[in-house]
Amino acid sequence: MAAVVDQIEMLLTESIGMFSFIEEKEWTFKPAPEKWSKKEILGHLIDSAQNNLRRFIVSQHEPDDKIYYHQDEWVRCQNYQSADIGELQQLWLLINKQLVRTVRNIPVAALKNTCDTGKEAIELHTLEFLIEDYHAHMLHHLKQITARH
């Protein structure tokens, strides 16, 4: 598990550096009205970090708790498109630093605890799976953000 957390931490450092090469117009460009801009993708990653941080904390003590979110609605309600990109970058970085600290403190035995992430049906996943999935999810979206049009 430590290797995955180290990789998340490395992504934070690398990504903040790469973000500085993205111009404002690239951050706000929407490929289609229903598609997210890079700003909105970063906002989605902030939402993902918040929800997963909660999963990583709660599931240690309240296994099988239901913790999910409606990603499109969250992005729309928070209007990330009009937010200051510097603020979004700092929020993303800081919430993820806290997430890393939290994951490093999860007892090994608790990694087998489960969380229900299903919206309509029960979908139980271990904390270990959720941490690995979080890393893969972050990597996927960071590639979208750093890709050039």
Q: What is the pLDDT of residues 108-146, one digit of tens each?
A: 999 999 999 999 999 999 999 999 999 999 999 999 999
Encoding tokens for residue 145? 């953000």
Instruction: Find out whether 139 and 18 touch, Cβ atoms under 8 Å.
Output: no
**pLDDT number for residue 107:** 97
Count of domains forming the chain: 1
CATH number of the domain encompassing residue 134: 1.20.120.450
For the residues of the chain, what is the DSSP string, one character each? -HHHHHHHHHHHHHHHHHHTTS-HHHHH--SSTTSPPHHHHHHHHHHHHHHHHHHHHHHHHSTT-B----HHHHHHHHTGGGS-HHHHHHHHHHHHHHHHHHHHTS-GGGGG-EEE--SSS--EEEHHHHHHHHHHHHHHHHHHHHS--
Question: Is the entire prediction scored with pTM above 0.75?
Answer: yes
pLDDT at 28 over 80: yes
**pLDDT number for residue 149:** 58
pLDDT at 148 over 90: no
Calpha distance 18→15 (Å, rounded): 5
Domain coverage including residue 101:
2-29+36-121+128-146
Q: What is the pLDDT of residues 31-82, one digit of tens each?
A: 999 999 999 999 999 999 999 999 999 999 998 999 999 999 999 999 999 9
Average pLDDT of the residues in 19-28: 96
**pLDDT number for residue 1:** 85
Calpha distance 118→68 (Å, rounded): 7
Half-sphere exposure of 115 (CA within 13 A, CB side): 23
